[in-house]
């Protein structure tokens, strides 16, 4: 392999790694890392149904006084700035290494080593990625008033106090038919108490995740969901990272699907919410990813299941909105 080909391969590989690192910084860190996982029975490979019309609140309650979160420094700007500086430093060190091995040139594409041109190029690419992500998050944070607010920080407490607020019952023939089948097998089933329970589960699960201990909510999860989330929580512990979820505002909670299959009930609930989602170093408190000031808007579909009858519901899948 020629020195020139080796040089270009090294530059390309470095750019790919830096690009992937920049994208990882922007990834949501909340439970499931902002991804879809779990089982929805035969509907596992199809996207959850979206509501046919915007929801409106049927109730509204005031939130209790917030609990202050632990101090942490930095934010998205610092996290991304650190990534850019790290990339530039990596490029310079790589150039020094190649020049030390005898591949170096005076600089630029004509020599064999990493030159000033490549370093500037890497910096411009990362700056473009940072600018795009910053713009995207600023646009997504332009949200109206929420139907439910909770300013509690989960990592400092095993339980969160909150006040519920709900969307109007979801409409749609599939939902009505599915709920009718469930009601025939469980005459005590009522939609509103079920949504009460779903919102309660939502906050308990988020609290367990932020505390890096899903065993406290194991009874609310299927074995599959517990195994996945507990493994992620253990990884956070191993890396000495804390994922903080502050100022959660749930804007709507509505049932979008209900069905029965293989002796089980399934109900999918749509949560539309925003929160401050950021990860800090456990020792220094420095923000590693996310932002303490810019809220992340998200739409998630949580599917709950149980054996047909009146048994307890468990979370079996989390799916992201389209």
Give me the CATH number covering residue 201.
3.10.450.240
In a domain, 20, yes or no: no
* Model pLDDT, residue 156: 45
CA distance 110 to 97: 17
CA distance 209 to 230: 8
How many C-beta atoms lie closer than 10 Å to residue 208's C-beta? 25
* Model pLDDT, residue 32: 72
* Model pLDDT, residue 64: 32
* Model pLDDT, residue 95: 53
CA distance 320 to 322: 7
Q: Which residue has the tokens 């600018």?
A: 131
In a domain, 95, yes or no: no
In a domain, 180, yes or no: yes
In a domain, 218, yes or no: yes
* Model pLDDT, residue 8: 57
* Model pLDDT, residue 29: 66
Q: Are 270 and 166 in contact (CB under 8 A)?
A: no
Q: Which residue has the tokens 């934010």?
A: 75
What's CA 60's distance to the chain center, in Å? 26
In a domain, 1, yes or no: no
The count of structural domains within the chain is 1
In a domain, 127, yes or no: no
Q: Are 150 and 159 in contact (CB under 8 A)?
A: no
The pTM assigned to this predicted structure is 0.62
CA distance 260 to 213: 31
Question: Which are the contacts of 249, defined by CB distance < 8 A and separation ≥ 6?
Answer: 146, 147, 148, 149, 150, 273, 274, 275, 295
Q: Are 148 and 163 in contact (CB under 8 A)?
A: yes
CA distance 290 to 253: 25
In a domain, 215, yes or no: yes
* Model pLDDT, residue 41: 96
Q: For the chain, give percent helix, strand, coil, nearest 5.
A: 45, 20, 35
Half-sphere exposure of 216 (CA within 13 A, CB side): 17
Q: What is the pLDDT along the chain (322 residues), one digit of tens a residue?
A: 565 555 555 555 555 555 444 444 444 467 876 789 999 999 999 999 887 654 444 333 222 333 333 333 333 333 334 444 444 445 544 554 444 445 444 444 445 555 666 677 777 787 777 666 655 554 444 344 444 545 445 544 444 444 443 443 434 578 999 999 999 999 999 999 999 999 999 999 999 999 999 999 999 999 999 999 999 999 999 999 999 999 988 999 999 999 999 999 999 999 999 999 999 999 999 999 999 999 999 999 999 999 999 999 999 999 998 6
* Model pLDDT, residue 177: 95
Domain with 309, as residue range(s), is 32-72+146-320
* Model pLDDT, residue 143: 41
* Model pLDDT, residue 180: 96
What is the token pair recorded at 236?
């956070």
Rounded to 5 degrees, φ, ψ at 277 are -125, 110
What is the token pair recorded at 194?
């079920």
In a domain, 135, yes or no: no
CA distance 25 to 290: 7
What's CA 108's distance to the chain center, in Å? 40
CA distance 78 to 140: 20
């Amino acid at each position: 392999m020629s020195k020139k080909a080796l040089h270009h391969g090294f530059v390309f590989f470095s750019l790919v790694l830096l690009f992937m690192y920049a994208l990882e910084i922007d990834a949501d860190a909340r439970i499931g890392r902002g991804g879809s996982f779990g089982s929805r029975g035969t509907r596992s490979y199809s996207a959850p149904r979206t509501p046919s019309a915007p929801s409106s609140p049927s109730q509204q309650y005031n939130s209790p006084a917030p609990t202050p979160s632990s101090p942490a420094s930095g934010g998205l700007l610092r996290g991304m700035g650190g990534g850019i500086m790290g990339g530039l430093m990596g490029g310079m060190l790589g150039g020094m290494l190649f020049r030390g091995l005898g591949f170096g040139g005076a600089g630029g594409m004509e020599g064999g080593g990493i030159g000033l041109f490549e370093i500037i190029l890497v910096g411009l690419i990362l700056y473009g990625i940072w600018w795009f992500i910053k713009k995207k998050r600023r646009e997504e944070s332009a949200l109206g008033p929420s139907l439910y607010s909770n300013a509690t920080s989960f990592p400092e407490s095993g339980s969160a106090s909150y006040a519920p607020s709900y969307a109007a019952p979801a409409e749609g023939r599939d939902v009505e038919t599915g709920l009718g089948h469930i009601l025939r097998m469980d005459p005590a089933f009522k939609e509103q108490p079920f949504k009460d329970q779903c919102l309660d589960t939502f906050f308990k699960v988020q609290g367990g995740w932020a505390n890096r201990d899903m065993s406290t909510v194991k009874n609310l999860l299927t074995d599959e969901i517990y195994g996945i989330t507990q493994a992620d929580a253990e990884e956070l512990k191993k890396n000495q990272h804390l994922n903080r979820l502050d100022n959660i505002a749930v804007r709507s909670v509505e049932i979008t699907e209900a069905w029965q299959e293989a002796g089980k009930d399934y109900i999918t609930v749509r949560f539309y919410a925003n929160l401050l989602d950021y990860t800090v170093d456990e020792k220094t408190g420095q923000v590693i990813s996310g932002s303490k000031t810019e809220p992340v808007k998200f739409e998630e579909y949580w599917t709950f299941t149980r054996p047909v009858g009146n048994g307890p519901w468990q979370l079996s899948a989390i799916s992201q909105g389209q």
